[in-house]
Amino acid sequence: MKKIKSSAKNKTSYLDYIKLRIEGFRTGKILRFPIERIKVNVEMWEHFCPQEGYEMYIGKDEPCNWCGEYENDQVE
């Protein structure tokens, strides 16, 4: 896997996180990455999507694009 340089010392940007996830999908490896190290200005909620079969983070008050589920377990 390619080493990705972080834009801030000891911090990982959201873009770095996305690049790591894409690399994981490309190589068939599931990558675990501590979300608390990511500096994000947007509030997000953690969701396991049954349609896609993996964990993802979705913007606060937004439904999952794949299954339509909201943070409070309501389906769109």
Read off the pTM. 0.43
Element (H, E) at 16: helix 14-27
> 75 forms bridges with which residues in the sheet?
69
19-75 pLDDT tens trace: 777 776 666 666 565 555 555 567 889 999 999 999 999 988 899 999 999 988 766
CB 44 within 8 A of CB 20: no
**Residue 72 burial (C-beta neighbours within 10 Å; 0-12, 13-18, 19+):** exposed
